[in-house]
């Protein structure tokens, strides 16, 4: 009997993780064919992005085009998101959905979960919201709406299990992405970093509003760094062509001499080649960690969101590697109001990673410790095996990975 999984994925990074999961599910189903189960026994559809579609998922909606963060960005789109949730419910009403798999994007995915449960469909959460970090009151909603959590961080397994939510720790799919990504040798040959001409990676974010808020600060920091390190080069990693064009248009005539190169879809090559980086806070910090590239982390927010965050956030860092280590591996700063302090922070942090070899080597040692403990691939396969087992198209689940 065929099984159908409905995905709801709203983040660009979640689109990439889920695309790899879809490929692993197809592989698992094919392998299950040797056990008397049809190789096409699993069908995949739902809300996601272009990577999921390319991996073989029937895309009912490109939700990644609507990724937003913060109340002020959500409010103008709230009616649209309710319409998307109703679209999901219309699919559930037709029948034939055996499981719903949510990936991150909690504000919207709660509504999808509620509608799925209304129709008796089991709901699983892969890459769950970081309730242990902020908004812990939502754990009651998680317990009510979610049947099982596939945790990607050790702290998540402990947290959700403590609150009575069935949880399996599978590991973080970002480490699979690092292990599986084939770096383009032609691009790598251009992205050369030497002590005489260090390469600095610049990641202005994957969402449009992130780029618009943070790139001007990064560009100002690049101008300062160029005065102090005229031989340093800067590789800008853009997620979309439109974002790349916007960043280019922010350059003034006086910036023509800056050693800047723009790239689209070459984030991994840039991270791998760079001596260090300045980046917008996000899960890509785990790739920085796995590729041993020290970074200065920035995130610019409005005053309202900043004040709200101070009330609800329960951790002292916004960067995942920092939360996984007792020392602050990546210097970080939340920017609100006057951007001068953030520009100075970025310039000074990158300057230290270029000029202070003792400081730089200490950062590499901290990254080595984190990689040895956490950065092991296999999360995607474990998640796929668990899901196939739950759907009855595999004999048993692979054991969950345990942190050292």
Domain boundaries, the chain: 3-171+378-391, 184-374
Model pLDDT, residue 11: 87
What superfamily in CATH does domain 3-171+378-391 come from?
Answer: Glycogen Phosphorylase B; (3.40.50.2000)
List, for residues 42-56, the tens digit of each pLDDT value: 999 999 999 999 999
**Stretch among 213-222, 293-302, 307-316 having the lowest mean pLDDT:** 307-316
Query: What's the rounded Cα separation, in Å, for the pair 125 and 168?
Result: 10
Q: Contact 5/57 with Cβ under 8 angstroms?
A: no
How many angstroms separate the CA atoms of 232 and 222, rounded? 10
Query: Rounded to whole angstroms, how far apart are CA atoms 128 and 151?
Result: 7
- pLDDT at position 76 is 58
Q: How far apart are CA 84 and CA 379, in angstroms?
A: 29
User: Quick one: CA dihedral 111, 51, 153, 133, positive or negative?
Assistant: negative
Angle of CA points 143, 322, 301, to nearest 5°? 80
Give the pLDDT mean for 295-304: 87
pTM for this structure? 0.76
Tokens of 351: 């300057």
β-strand 233-238 against 99-103: which pairing, if any? unpaired
CATH class for the domain made up of 184-374: alpha beta
Chain segment 126-139, per-residue pLDDT in tens:
999 888 777 778 89
Q: Taking 60 as the threshold, does the pLDDT of residue 114 lie above it?
A: yes
Specify the higher pLDDT residue, 318 or 199.
Answer: 199
Same fold, 3-171+378-391 and 184-374: yes
Predicted confidence (pLDDT) at residue 112 exceeds the cutoff of 50? yes
CA distances 141 to 9, 74, 129, 145, Å, are 19, 20, 12, 6
């Amino acid at each position: 009997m065929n099984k159908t999984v409905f995905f709801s994925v709203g983040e660009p990074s979640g689109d990439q993780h889920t695309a790899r999961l879809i490929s692993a599910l197809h592989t698992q189903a094919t392998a299950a064919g040797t056990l008397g189960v049809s190789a096409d026994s699993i069908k995949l559809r739902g809300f996601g992005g272009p990577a999921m579609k390319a991996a073989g998922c029937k895309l009912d909606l490109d939700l990644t085009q609507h990724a937003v963060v913060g109340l002020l960005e959500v409010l103008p789109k709230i009616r649209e998101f309710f319409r998307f949730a109703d679209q999901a419910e219309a699919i559930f009403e037709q029948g034939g959905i055996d499981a719903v798999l949510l990936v991150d994007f909690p504000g919207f995915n709660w509504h999808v979960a509620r509608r799925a449960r209304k129709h008796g469909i089991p709901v699983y959460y892969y890459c769950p919201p970081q309730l242990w970090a902020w908004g812990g009151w939502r754990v009651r909603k998680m317990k009510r709406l979610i049947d099982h959590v596939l945790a990607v961080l050790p702290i998540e397994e402990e947290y959700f299990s403590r609150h009575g939510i069935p949880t399996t720790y599978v590991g973080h799919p970002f480490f699979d992405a690092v292990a599986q990504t084939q770096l383009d040798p032609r691009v790598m040959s251009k992205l050369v970093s030497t002590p005489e001409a260090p390469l600095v990676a610049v990641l202005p974010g994957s969402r449009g509003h992130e780029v618009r808020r943070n790139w001007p600060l990064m560009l100002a920091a690049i101008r300062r760094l160029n005065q102090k390190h005229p031989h340093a080069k800067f590789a800008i990693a853009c997620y979309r062509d439109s974002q790349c064009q916007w960043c280019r248009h922010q350059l003034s005539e006086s910036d023509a001499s800056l050693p800047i190169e723009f790239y689209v879809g070459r984030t991994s090559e840039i991270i791998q080649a760079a001596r260090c980086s300045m980046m917008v806070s996000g899960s890509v910090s785990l790739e920085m960690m796995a590729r041993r590239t020290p970074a200065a982390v920035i995130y610019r927010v409005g005053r309202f969101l900043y004040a709200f965050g101070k009330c609800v956030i329960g951790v002292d860092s916004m960067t995942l590697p920092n939360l996984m280590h007792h020392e602050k591996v990546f210097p970080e700063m939340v920017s609100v109001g006057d951007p001068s302090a953030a520009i100075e922070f970025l310039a000074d942090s990158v300057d230290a990673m270029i000029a202070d070899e003792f400081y730089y080597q200490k950062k590499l040692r901290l990254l080595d410790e984190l990689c040895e403990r956490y950065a092991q691939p296999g999360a995607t396969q474990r998640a796929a095996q668990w899901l196939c087992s739950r759907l009855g198209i595999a004999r048993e689940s692979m054991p969950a990975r345990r942190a050292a």
